[in-house]
Amino acid sequence: MSKLLKLFLVFSIFSLYLNASPEIGQGILEKKLQKGCSISIADLASKHKQKEWKELKDSGKLRVELQKFEPKLKAISDKELPDVFDFLYEYASDSGLFPSCGS
């Protein structure tokens, strides 16, 4: 029983790291937006409502949309995309939230 409990705890903790995170997405976007870009990450997130960001992700057009708003945005990897989406979704124009600096 003890081994089963330990195994469950290990998998539970590990699964937390596999989930996408708005905070990680914010950090990724802060690194990817170059100096001289015409848009802030908060402005970028507020370009769409949550439903619209989800539709873009589901249709596979999220990267294209990001490049449309900021052509200088560095490439976002497949691994980074879920976190970036979570940030955009969390701080979409209809969310009522605004990202804080350095969080």
Domain map (residue ranges) of the chain: 21-103
Q: How big is the CA angle at 29 (ends 25 and 34), to the nearest 5 degrees?
A: 170
What's the predicted TM-score (pTM) here?
Answer: 0.77
Task: Look at residue 27 and tell me whether its pLDDT is greater than 70.
Answer: yes
The predicted structure's pLDDT at residue 103: 45
- Please give the torsion angle defined by the CA atoms of residues 15, 20, 24 and 26, in that order, rounded to the nearest 10 degrees: -170
Average pLDDT over residues 46-74: 94
The predicted structure's pLDDT at residue 87: 96
Nearest-CA neighbor of 26 among 79, 77, 88? 88
